[in-house]
Structure 1
Amino acid sequence: MYLTKEEEKILNGEYGWGLAKAMQVIVSVGDSLNSEKLINIAHAHISGVSYGNIGEPGKKLIKQFADEGIKFSVKTTVNPIGYDTMDYDAIPFTRIDKSYIIGQEEILRSLNKMGADLTLSCTPYYLPNVNEIKKGSSVAWGESNAVVYGNSVLGIKTNREGGPISLMAAIIGKIYYYGLHIEKNRIPEIKYKIHKPEDYEINEVRAGIIGEIISKIHNNDKPPYLEEKLKNDTTIKEFSASLGAAGNLAMVVINGITPIRFDEKEIKETITIDFNDIKKREEELKPNGRPDLIYFGCPHTNKHEIEKIANNLKKINNLKTKIIITTSRKEISKLDRDALNILRSKDVKLISDTCLIVSPFGYKGLNIVTNSYKAYFYLTKRGIKVSLISIDNLEEVLRL
């Protein structure tokens, strides 16, 4: 790999242990990928900051950087942790040990000392400063849904980086020139068409199922091209999240959404997905009986989604099932007062800083309903029964 003189000085330790260590990691990984050089990044989003995920080794590494006085070189945001920092008992069916909180707080102090914005959200793309990143800019993002959304909707460039890589990239402000940072690697070669009646609507649950199907059959290094036009941000977000959860895709070209130009001649194959296959899977995943919990917010909900949930609850007089919503504090601050009053009157809990899949949530045999394929994918691995329903169909499940 070619390094500039300045990069060589960093690597050789002339600017201290911390920068040298971070540079060493990035260069080693870049070399293994046959990357020709390093490039500057405009932003970093660090995943893998939950104490439950990284434990003592991760905590010690981050603390070591912070104690050395290392600062992040670019604006850096941070993924959710395992609990709400203002209400440790916010998540139902979950117990947070004191030792867990002590370990997590140490991690947060270290990240804050290094200059991170402790957003504690998996949807950095909703933050104002992230939306200011210019299209075509390279970033280093962890968090699979954010990576897919960033590449596919915002038109920024990132590979699917793990937590340690996004941490190191944030420190030196650089990443290896590889994969989706290279323009030609962003041009699709396989198109996916949805064969369906005109009145068959692709909501966020169906979009998640489409993501599952594409993840299983896509066998090309280039991103898939979805010809279907997805109607709103919730649908696009859940589609992005399912692609990242069910497979290892980091980008999809969505018709009318992804800011990229390419010649249809680049398409080498067209694959048709029949709506009957989507319907069959949707039937398999639909609720059967009253759930123990209804959950929205994987990825974190935005203002529009929360207000839509509130509006759908207006007609429900006797809410018998607990509803929780995970979101960022930023989105809660934007909420309409009427929506907040409705949610409070229905005892719906707005939970920040966390997400069920990175928390110690759940016991085997629990029955929950969500609109998130990603939540389904990860929570079922814990022995939890998960079914899917769109926000638009919330009233149906509440009447079970």
Structure 2
Amino acid sequence: MGSLPEASFQGTVHVGGEASGTLIASDLELSFWGGVNPQTGEIIDRHHPLSGCYLQDAVLAIPGGRGSCSGSGVMLELLLNKKAPKALLFERREDILTLGVMVAKEVFDTSIPVLTLNPNDFRAVLNMNGETIHVRSENVSTKAFSIRNESLTTEKQEPSIAGTVKLNSLDKELLEGTFGTASQVAIRLILRMANLLGAHELMDVTQVHVDGCVYTGSGCLLFAEKLRDLGGNVQVPTTLNSISIDQKRWRAQGVDASFGEAATRLADAYVDMGCHPTFTCAPYQLESAPRKGQQVAWAESNAVVYANSVLGARTMKYPDFLDICIALTGRAPRAGPHVEINRLASLVVRVSDVCLKSVDDSFYPILGYNVGSLSSTETPVIVDLEALVPSKDDLRAFGAAFATVSSAPMFHILGITPEATVLEHILQKEPEVRCVDVKMEGLRDCWNELNSARRDLPIDLISLGNPHFSLEEIKKLARLCQGRVKSEIVAVVMTCGRSAYGLAKQAGLVDELEKFGVQFITDTCWCMLTAPTIQPSANAIMTNSAKYAHYGPGLTSRKFFFGSLAQCVEAACQGHITEVFPKWLADGAGR
């Protein structure tokens, strides 16, 4: 590639510093969790144009992140493993990945520059892919900086800890260390994020759901144990997301001892700080689920989207590590979906061209995946679905797929979700709202993208429960399996929370499904499962989760089929797929 003319830009500094590296750039957002290997720095999202690239020694330019809140954990591990990019350049404010760098700086004294560029400059940078890029403070250039300008030092360019945030007496006491060192570290990170968000004050929350209990490597364990050993104790009711192992069964399941012990230590550190060992990625299934209008601080992308959209509670898409900081202080930035105006839709998605006859449970995740692709950063309102009556599980599947490919923290569905009773009431006033149409061919494209396996490839594993299965889904699975015989060569594995498992056990559903051959795993989820549950194989995995069909190929190096729950049961019995498309997609393909 020939060198381009010298160019220089100025951006907004979120974490200061100086670095140089070869530019790796894309105009598509990237989820670091499930999209980047924290041990090697390889981009493993097989649906992303940068798949196969390595971040080490590179300057990464992407519009922003997407998908999982655990991206901050992956970012921290990359930095501690010395596999991180030399600098991060974003087109817009990026909370999750920036927080990972802030934690590395605040707690581990290591960091990289993080800047946002204006849209025109960002697009110009995209054209420099493969060039050597130099970053110093707010300056980005293709020309090396020869003489250090002391006016551009990191200390002068980065905002102060408090910045423009108005502190009340509690915030000041926390910052001064009155309540201990753990809460002091926590409030410093909260204030760093508040400044990034442009929040002018902090607010109280009534509960927290922590996603940082997922074991991504030694960094997340060091962080949690340090907070615990510094005397950390949660100040509001706090639940825990799925962890990386089934805590009660991992030894019997043959999980590597060093990994199992580290993941157990991480979970124990959070429980020691007063968190409840719920270990589920579906906290909305718990009795403690928040009500409409309640201010909470949840992490885990699907849970955040469900809380905002379906429950009508109010939470930002909190990055890992910030979640426990908020739990330790009870304080959160007043920004994002906590504020009424930020909950308004900026995009209308019309579904009038879609055939709604014969839809089954595969329709909602495919639609969510398509809508998320159409609204990568915007909060959408979906119209023309009033004739349908989606269940809570349908909305959960829609939201999980939506959150996989969109960074937006919520959606509305007119006539279905609680805040979308009147269209005009949930639309932003300025600027003018865009309208887009979902097409049958777009849904078919999504179906084909998630079905990465050849049609004739045998299936040896059915993956269910990403996010965790609810009691109603377990009941539905039992009905579908009744009177059927599973193929001996196919394993059927379901993940669910301890609460749902306990209720299913009481109802006799666990024994019934185990006779069919279903294996139950609690505490953990498919995005964390590896060997021995998932063995290397030339055969395919089938799932009813669009989220796992997206992340799975990169996480497992396996090919995937996606389909309805009924299709999954049929494949479990036959050992292969029997339908290329579901009836709703086949019937509507000619529209």
Q: TM-score, normalised by structure 2?
A: 0.63
**Structure 2 residue 500 is matched with structure 1 residue 331:** yes
Shift of 1:206: 2.5
Equivalent residue, structure 1, for 2:476: 308
Q: 1:7 to 1:395 in 2, by over 3 A?
A: closer
Compare 15-24 and 254-263 and name the one that shifted more: 254-263
Shift of 1:200: 4.2
Q: Given that residues 450 and 550 in structure 2 are in contact (C-alpha distance below 8 angstroms), is that contact kept between their aligned partners in structure 1?
A: no
What's the counterpart of residue 414 of structure 2? 255
Matches within 5 A, 1:35-184: 35-51=199-215, 53=216, 55-88=217-250, 96-130=255-289, 133-184=290-341
What is the one-letter code of the residue matched to 1:273? V
**CA shift digits 1:174-204 (9 cap, x unpaired):** 1101111110111113211222234141x34
Alpha-carbon offset, residue 284 of structure 1:
5.4
Helix, strand or coil at the partner of 1:354: coil
Of 378, 392, 396, the match for 2:570? 396
Larger Rg: 2
Q: Report the Cα offset of residue 220 of structure 1.
A: 5.5
Instruction: Give the CA deviation at 1:292.
Output: 1.2
1:290 and 1:35, CA in 2 relative to 1: closer, same or farther beyond 3 A? same
Q: Is the 8 A contact 2:362 2:563 kept in 1?
A: yes
Q: Aligned partners of 2:486 and 2:335: how far apart in 1?
A: 55
| Aligned-pair CA distance for 1:249 | 1.9
What corresponds to 2:167 in structure 1? Answer: 3
1:163-242 alignment, distance < 5 Å = 163-194=320-351, 195-201=353-359, 203-218=360-375, 221=378, 223-227=379-383, 228-229=385-386, 231-242=390-401
- Distance, in Å, in 1 between the alignment partners of 2:510 and 2:195 is 51
Offset of residue 256 of structure 1: 2.8
Counterpart for residue 282 of structure 1: 447
Q: Quick one: which amino acid aligns to residue 277 of structure 1?
A: G
Structure 1 unmatched runs, 5+: none
Change (3 A) 1:263 1:280: closer
1:60 corresponds to which letter in structure 2? L
Q: Residue in 2 aligned with 1:319?
A: 487
**8 A contact 1:83–1:90 mirrored in 2:** no
| Aligned amino acid, residue 367 of structure 1 | A
Instruction: Tell me, yes or no, if the aligned pair for 1:204 and 1:239 is still in contact at 8 Å.
Output: no
Larger CA deviation: 365-374 vs 257-266: 257-266
Separation in structure 2 between the aligned mates of residue 368 and residue 327 of structure 1, nearest angstrom = 19
Match of 1:353 in 2: 523
Q: Could you tell me how far 1:280 is from its partner in structure 2?
A: 4.3
Shift of 1:42: 1.1
User: Which residue identity does 1:296 align to in structure 2?
Assistant: L
SS state at 1:357 partner: coil
Counterpart residue identity of residue 350, structure 1 = F
Residue identity matched to 2:180: G
Residue identity in the other structure for 1:313 = C
1:332 to partner: Cα distance: 1.3
Name the SS for the 1:326 alignment partner. strand
User: For residues 31 and 396 of structure 1, do their structure 2 counterparts lie closer, same or farther at Cα, with a shift above 3 Å needed?
Assistant: same
What count of residue pairs does the alignment treat as equivalent? 391
Q: d(CA) in 1 for partners of 2:376 and 2:491? A: 41
Distance 2:195 2:239 in 1: 27
**1:211, CA displacement in angstroms?**
2.1
Moved more, 112-121 or 206-215: 206-215
Equivalent residue in structure 2 for 1:379, among 534, 549, 552: 552
Query: Alpha carbon RMSD of aligned pairs, Å?
Result: 2.1
**How many Å apart are 1:172 and its aligned residue?**
0.4
Give the alignment partner of residue 264 of structure 1, picking from 424, 443, 449: 424
Deviation larger for 270-279 or 114-123:
270-279
Query: Unaligned regions of 5+ residues in structure 2, if any?
Result: 1-164, 577-591
Partner of 2:31: none
Kept in 1, the 8 Å contact 2:211–2:240? The answer is yes
1:31 alignment partner in structure 2: 195
Question: Does structure 1 conserve the Cα–Cα contact (< 8 Å) formed by 2:306 and 2:399?
Answer: yes
Q: Tell me, in whole angstroms, the C-alpha distance in 2 between the residues paired with 1:386 and 1:334.
A: 31
Contact 2:494 2:520 in 1 (8 A): yes
Question: Counterparts of 1:307 and 1:85 in 2: how far apart (Å)?
Answer: 24
Aligned to 1:298: 466
Taking the aligned partners of 1:394 and 1:90, their CA distance within structure 2 comes to 26
Shift of 1:68: 2.7
Counterparts of 2:198 and 2:392, CA distance in 1: 36
Task: State the AA in 1 paired with 2:518.
Answer: V
When normalised by structure 1's length, the TM-score is 0.91
Quote the offset at 1:325 in angstroms: 0.5
Deviation larger for 188-197 or 298-307? 188-197
The superposition leaves residues 236-285 of structure 1 with CA deviations (integer Å, 9 ceiling, x where unpaired) of 11111111112212100122332215552737232111123313432554
CA distance in 1, matches of 2:171, 2:403: 32
Asked whether the equivalents of residues 204 and 236 of structure 1 are also in contact (C-alpha less than 8 Å), the reply is: no
Q: Distance in 2 between matches of 1:210 and 1:90?
A: 39
Letter in 2 for 1:196: V
Q: State the SS of the aligned residue for 1:163.
A: coil
Note the C-alpha offset of 1:160.
Answer: 0.9
